[in-house]
Amino acid sequence: MFAGLIAVFAAILYKINTNDDGPAEGGVAATVAVGPDAEVLSADLSDGMLLVLVREGTKTALLRFDAVTGKNLGRTDFVSR
């Protein structure tokens, strides 16, 4: 989990430093809760939302967070059919 949080913050810092628009005036949340068993696969900052792709065991999910407050806005689970 610790490695996952480091990956999230590395992605946030990368996006902040490469984005011409810069971060929102309120800044970026210092922490977000992705879950105890979540492995962060990818993170992206877009339109004030932090999108985090995580793997929890054999399941994959997309978590949406408010970039300023770190509040969880939603979750999309990926399933095979």
pTM higher than the cut 0.75: no
What pLDDT was estimated at residue 9? 74
Segment 21-37, tens digit of pLDDT? 544 556 788 888 898 89
The residue ranges of every structural domain in the chain are 2-78
CB 39 within 8 Å of CB 69: no
CA 19 to chain CA centroid, Å, is: 16
Segment 38-72, tens digit of pLDDT? 999 999 998 889 999 999 999 999 999 999 999 99
Please name the residue that has the structure tokens 């210092």: 30
Q: Strands (DSSP E) along the chain, which ranges? A: 38-46, 49-56, 59-66, 72-78
First and final C-alpha spacing in the chain? 29
What pLDDT was estimated at residue 25? 58
**What's the CATH class of domain 2-78?**
alpha beta
